[in-house]
Amino acid sequence: METLAEIIVGIRSENLDRSFTYRVPQGMEIQVGSRVVVPFGRQRLEGYCITVIAGAEDKEQADFEYKEIEALLDDAPVLTEELIELSAWGAARWLCSRTDLLKAMVPAGLRFTTSKWVTLLEDAESETPELLWLRENGPVALAAWQKLFPSTVRANELRRLQQKGIIKLNNRESRGIGQKKVQSAHLLSAGQVALPMGKKQDLALELLRKHGSMALTALADVGVSRATVHSMAKKGWIAICEQLVRRDPLSGETFLATGSIELTAAQVEAIRQVGSACNRTGREVVLLHGVTGSGKTEVYLQAIGKVVAAGMGSILLVPEIALTPQMIERFVARFGRLVAVLHSRLSAGERHDEWWRIVTGEALVVVGARLAVFAPFKQLGLIVLDEEHEASYKQDETPRYHARDVAMWRAKKHGAALVLGSATPSLESYNAALSGKYALCLLPERVENRPLPPVDVVDMRQELKEGHRSIFSRALLNALEKVQQEKKQAILLLNRRGYATFVLCRGCGFVMRCKMCNVSLKFHLAEEVLRCHYCDYREPYPSQCPVCASRYIKHFGTGTQKVAEELQKHFPTLRAARVDADSTAQKGAYQKIFGAFKIGSVDVLIGTQMVAKGLDFPNVTLVGVVTADTTINLPDFRAGERTFQLLTQVAGRAGRGNFGGRVLVQTYTPEHYAIQAARTHDFETFFAQESKARKELGYPPYAVFIRLLLTGSEEDKVEGAASLLASLLEATEILGPSPCPLERIRGQFRWQVVARGQALEPLLLKVREAAETFRKSLFSGSVRLVLDVEPQSLL
């Protein structure tokens, strides 16, 4: 009798998405969810155990010898049985491999890897900078070294250095990040009285007599080397001990404890509904539709409080960019050390330690971004998705899962409740609520009778007519003036940066659109044509507006930099800070900017979507939207929905304190229903209009889309591959083939085919078949195929 295990091997390959059987060596305590190292061909690879078969018949297949698992990588399984099962379901649901999903689940640092390292040989001459660097810093991963010194990337340069015996390359294995251990020196009684010879030892003993013990790194900082410490240990003066330390993402911060606030009647009702979902006496999914500032977060806090009291786990998901220190603070203030945070700005070590605090049951509340939906709780009571409509809940690289669907699956599995919260629910969720699939719960008013801020729409066509060409309208300039006088704060929002490709008439606001697909046409500089990226319709670049004959018709856009400069020109004393992907790239930069805004050393925040979410600053009395048109005119069927959501979100940042607030939206299309609905804070009307249009055009949620994206460096091959796929999908309704709106990214040409169907399952089947045939075709070598089930964007 022997024990066998089914292992999913950690390499990416469309052809290898299956498990392999290995023999478990005597005494290895493997469980479902364990991470292991297995031999695979000539390699040694990481794998995840999905089944353990104890007491298998000895060599039933007589002449077949299973290979043996080499090592168990962690003390306890890193994944639960439920998560292993989830990977099987998810792989079918999103047409990806189980390996991809398993890798997405575990903390990034937990990877068994082999990599090439470079070492400088002892007697090598080393006067070039890259060799001097090696001499000073010791062996380094080849990839890191090559990043520092690009000249070494050339294969023949590397070969030359090796042949001359200057450097040596070898493979190193890494088990990935582990627990952090700190070595420290402790004074022993012999050390109390020892009379050292030598300055360094003397210094070390003096310090230790004062402090009792010290970390070796601290001793090194004052010049006491490891060698010195070890020789002192040999003499019996000190002992060297190792301690585990937790890498705490919130270390150094203090939080004032808060208690529950007295709830409004609407909040009480919401908590009651969530409670019945938890106890399975109501519907398991609750859509909490509450305007900004209506107290949704307080509902989450108190609902989670009840689950904590029952000793079960809860997950609160927040879009990455809304996961501000402010949000985390509210949860830690309520639940203290029971909170673990998981998001992509954590260091690998922090993420590792937070993960194990969940595995061991030390943390019961996880606050995090999309990836936190995989938090390895054994007993889960409640999952909350705040701002459930956010596109960022869908991962836009493989595996392209949607956290909402994962949450739905997990909630069902655990008999837990799922709360979807938003001021602007997605069409999908609101539709499900109206049809009775979800419970619908409303918080129609802000707490403490605070009014929603008035939203004024500024018609930029009028500005132009009256001779004002600045990116700030006169109304916005006046409002900023007022902010300056009253010493209050303002937020200026700009949409997606650098997306100046649709064509707009500044005279009448007309945008060139495809008559068939109702998405904006994209301007192609090279050919001077406009092109539809759903159906590939084309027309020439207009010299004048087809509606009003104005010649102010051209492609459109502006960036945060330009807005900052313009602001500086008009208000030299206002202190402004930019928040965009560039200015917040560095770790901590984000916190710094918001910190400065919070204490009032910045007056105006200028930013992209990042400034629209989750901020609660009572001094903000003005929110200005510089151009609403950039999102409205994205060539994407969700453009209207995204605009309404964004305007509503950013408007929600104004007037949260007692000073009131207002919102100014600048646009060339003030009559657009998304802008009109945002102006009156009217979700219902927006939903009715958008829903009608989607139904007519056969767009989600009234149809299912699967996008087949093709990329490659040779345009004709990519186009040919798209045609082939279209023909393989013959029996299916498709959009395209057509070039993607972003038709070239980093030198890769992009085409797409969108398969459309009424139900998901049959469509998945057809697409899977077409993809399999495609992968056996001649194109598969030069064109990459990406499958995106229910894409959030078709850009």
Applying CB under 6 A, the residues found at the interface with ligand ADP are 261-264, 267, 290, 292-298, 447-448, 616
Residue 452: contacted member of ligand ADP, Zn ion, none (CB under 5 to 8 Å, by partner type): none
Q: What CA–CA distances, in Å, run from 757 to 470, 487, 493, 518, 702?
A: 46, 55, 37, 20, 9
Q: 252, exposed or middle or buried, with CB in 10 Å at 0-12, 13-18, 19+? A: exposed
Q: What CA–CA distances, in Å, run from 560 to 607, 608, 626?
A: 6, 8, 10
Residue 508: contacted member of ligand ADP, Zn ion, none (CB under 5 to 8 Å, by partner type): Zn ion
Residue 317 or 553: the one with the smaller Cβ distance to Zn ion is 553
For CA atoms 216, 218, 220, 225, the dihedral sign is negative
What is the rounded CA–CA span in Å between residue 652 and residue 453? 8
Residue 159 or 465: the one with the smaller Cβ distance to Zn ion is 465
Joined together, the tokens standing for residue 155 give 């294969």
Joined together, the tokens standing for residue 145 give 């070294």
Residue 166 or 263: the one with the smaller Cβ distance to ligand ADP is 263
| Cα-based angle 639, 665, 543 (whole degrees, multiple of 5) | 65
For residue 645, the minimal CB distance to ligand ADP (Å) is 14
- Contact pattern from residue 517 through residue 536 relative to Zn ion, giving x for each residue in contact according to CB under 5 A and a dash for the rest: x--------------x-xx-
148 makes contact with Zn ion (CB under 5 A): no
265-278 vs 296-309: helix axis angle to the nearest 10? 40
**Cβ-based neighbour number of residue 257 at 10 Å:** 9
Residue 392 or 666: the one with the smaller Cβ distance to ligand ADP is 392
For residue 290, the minimal CB distance to ligand ADP (Å) is 5
Joined together, the tokens standing for residue 208 give 């230790």
For residue 679, the minimal CB distance to Zn ion (Å) is 22
What is the 3-state secondary structure of 483-526? HHHHCCEEEEECCCCCCCCCEEECCCCCECECCCCCCECEEECC
What is the rounded CA–CA span in Å between residue 192 and residue 208? 9
Q: What are phi and psi of 439, to 5 degrees?
A: -80, 140
Residue 392: contacted member of Zn ion, ligand ADP, none (CB under 5 to 8 Å, by partner type): none
| Cα-based angle 419, 424, 425 (whole degrees, multiple of 5) | 45
Residue 261: contacted member of Zn ion, ligand ADP, none (CB under 5 to 8 Å, by partner type): ligand ADP
Residue 448: contacted member of Zn ion, ligand ADP, none (CB under 5 to 8 Å, by partner type): ligand ADP
DSSP letter at 338 equals: G
For residue 461, the minimal CB distance to Zn ion (Å) is 8
| Cα-based angle 637, 442, 426 (whole degrees, multiple of 5) | 15
CA dihedral 474, 480, 481, 482 (to 10 degrees): 110
Residue 329 or 715: the one with the smaller Cβ distance to ligand ADP is 329
For residue 628, the minimal CB distance to Zn ion (Å) is 18
Q: Which stretch binds Zn ion (CB under 5 A): 63-71, 480-488, 507-515, 729-737?
A: 507-515
For residue 377, the minimal CB distance to ligand ADP (Å) is 24
Question: What is 22-55 written as a DSSP string?
Answer: EEPPTT----TT-EEEEEETTEEEEEEEEEEEEE
Q: Which of 114, 33, 120, 40 is nearest to 73 (CA)?
A: 33
Joined together, the tokens standing for residue 39 give 């031999």
For residue 519, the minimal CB distance to Zn ion (Å) is 7
For residue 539, the minimal CB distance to Zn ion (Å) is 11
Residue 318 or 710: the one with the smaller Cβ distance to ligand ADP is 318
Q: Which stretch binds Zn ion (CB under 5 A): 91-99, 283-291, 457-465, 511-519?
A: 511-519
Among 78, 420, 508, 626, binds Zn ion (CB under 5 A): 508
Residue 292: contacted member of ligand ADP, Zn ion, none (CB under 5 to 8 Å, by partner type): ligand ADP
- Contact pattern from residue 533 through residue 552 relative to Zn ion, giving x for each residue in contact according to CB under 5 A and a dash for the rest: -xx-x-------x-xx-x--
Residue 475: contacted member of Zn ion, ligand ADP, none (CB under 5 to 8 Å, by partner type): none
Residue 297: contacted member of Zn ion, ligand ADP, none (CB under 5 to 8 Å, by partner type): ligand ADP
Alpha helices by DSSP H, 164-225: 189-193, 199-211, 216-221
Strands (E), 190-280: 213-215, 238-245
For residue 504, the minimal CB distance to Zn ion (Å) is 9
Residue 447: contacted member of Zn ion, ligand ADP, none (CB under 5 to 8 Å, by partner type): ligand ADP
Residue 534: contacted member of Zn ion, ligand ADP, none (CB under 5 to 8 Å, by partner type): Zn ion
For residue 652, the minimal CB distance to ligand ADP (Å) is 7
Residue 547: contacted member of ligand ADP, Zn ion, none (CB under 5 to 8 Å, by partner type): Zn ion
For residue 301, the minimal CB distance to ligand ADP (Å) is 8
Among 510, 637, 705, 749, binds Zn ion (CB under 5 A): 510
Residue 250 or 447: the one with the smaller Cβ distance to ligand ADP is 447
For CA atoms 626, 628, 633, 634, the dihedral sign is positive
Residue 263: contacted member of Zn ion, ligand ADP, none (CB under 5 to 8 Å, by partner type): ligand ADP
Residue 185 or 512: the one with the smaller Cβ distance to Zn ion is 512
Residue 22 makes CB contacts below 8 A (sequence gap 6+) with: 4, 5, 7, 38, 66, 67, 68, 69
Among 290, 319, 507, 661, binds Zn ion (CB under 5 A): 507
Residue 510: contacted member of Zn ion, ligand ADP, none (CB under 5 to 8 Å, by partner type): Zn ion
For residue 293, the minimal CB distance to ligand ADP (Å) is 5
Joined together, the tokens standing for residue 462 give 């009028």
What is the rounded CA–CA span in Å between residue 284 and residue 176? 38
What is the rounded CA–CA span in Å between residue 736 and residue 535? 5
CA dihedral 138, 144, 146, 147 (to 10 degrees): -130
Q: Which stretch binds Zn ion (CB under 5 A): 159-167, 175-183, 378-386, 502-510?
A: 502-510
Among 187, 514, 579, 665, binds Zn ion (CB under 5 A): 514
For residue 267, the minimal CB distance to ligand ADP (Å) is 6
505 makes contact with Zn ion (CB under 5 A): yes
Residue 200 or 330: the one with the smaller Cβ distance to ligand ADP is 330
**Cβ-based neighbour number of residue 427 at 10 Å:** 19
Residue 294: contacted member of Zn ion, ligand ADP, none (CB under 5 to 8 Å, by partner type): ligand ADP
Residues in touch with Zn ion (CB under 5 A): 505, 507-508, 510, 514, 516-517, 532, 534-535, 537, 545, 547-548, 550
